[in-house]
Amino acid sequence: MAESALLTVPLDALHRSLGARMVDFAGYDMPVQYEGIIAEHLHCRAQAALFDVSHMGQAVLEGPDAAAALERVVTGDIRGLKPGRQRYTLLMNAQGGIVDDLMVANLGDRLLLVLNAGRKNVDVAHIRAHLPATVSLTPQFDRALLALQGPEAGAVMATLAPEVAAMRFMEAREMALSGISVTITRSGYTGEDGFEIGLPAAEAEGLARALLADARVKPAGLGARDSLRLEAGLPLYGNDIDETRDPIAAGLGFAIGKTRKMGWDFLGGDAVRAVHDAGPRERLVGLRAEGRAPVRAGAELRDAAGQPAGRVTSGTFGPSVNGPVALGYVRADCAGDGSTLIAGLRGRDIGITVVPLPFVPHRYHR
């Protein structure tokens, strides 16, 4: 896509003023790094990093029995989601494949959905096709979304709104922050404590500058966001999950609510139940390579006999573990922790070990 055709986020001018290197991501001109991916990654693990994720899609679902209507196409227990709470769930197709992974927050009179950037238009059309006339889905793609992540995130946020300190992981609120009306959830995709803040685009720069004025906060780009989520063992749509992958093979069975497993009455439920009962042929697992060079997405994996065993779906250098980390699908018989595999890297074979996820423990504020 030509640069002139790229969409921009509300903080585009701020990113450039901070020296960001911009790249095309999901059709948006987005900051990939500022001072460097490793420095931004480690700062997030130690203090707090501010990410602009405004390219993601926010949408509101409302109407009588909106939760029940959404349950037709997602795996989560949405009717059981209490006001002020958020839940991770999966949007499904009729074949049991994952259309997207998304967040759903119950704001009391409506549901707030946060969709992946590259899937948001697909998601809206897919959800609308299964809604009754009494329920509406309204995209709010013009709103900004900021993510403050890291162990100091709570303390930083409390300087702007002391009541934020009492929020727990996956709690959702509507409130005023620095005089701005926002939706805020205690969540994120780094494995660290943190918050995601939805707000009008015109107010985004003011809030971003207020957060960056705190010495504990530095800006971080998509590069660090990717290495952070990979160390946390969190799948990326388009790499680790897509419409050809089911929740069981992807290790996302937890996103199928207990009540949903009683009837499997969501789109593709019968297909997912069949995999659940029989066991998947492949599983998404954590992978550690010998040496320091990362094994990238697309690398083929072989077993000890040299037979095809799977493929890497995400791979990078993990700054927090000081070594390469990866996710990949491998044959079920090779998916046990401690299993050894082989990958080709720059013309030579290297050893790969299946390891437990996450690579770095989650530190959510529960």
Pairing type for strands 217-219 and 48-52 reads parallel
Alpha helices in the chain (DSSP H): 12-17, 37-46, 66-70, 120-128, 153-160, 201-212, 222-231, 260-263, 269-278
Question: Largest Cα–Cα distance in the chain?
Answer: 63
Strands (E), 134-207: 136-139, 144-149, 172-177, 180-185, 194-199
- The rounded Cα 197 to chain-centroid distance in angstroms is 15
* Distance in angstroms (rounded) separating the CA atoms of residues 18 and 32: 12
Count Cα atoms within 13 angstroms, Cβ side, for 327: 25
User: How is residue 275 written in tokens?
Assistant: 């995999």
Report d(CA 233, CA 90) in Å as an integer. Answer: 17
Q: Which helix (H) or strand (E) holds 56?
A: none
Q: How many CB atoms lie within 10 A of CB 47?
A: 18
Q: Which residue has the tokens 């998509």?
A: 222
171 is in an annotated binding site: no
Question: How far apart are the C-alpha atoms of 23 and 222, rounded to whole Å?
Answer: 9
Binding residues for substrate: 196
Binding residues, by number, are 196
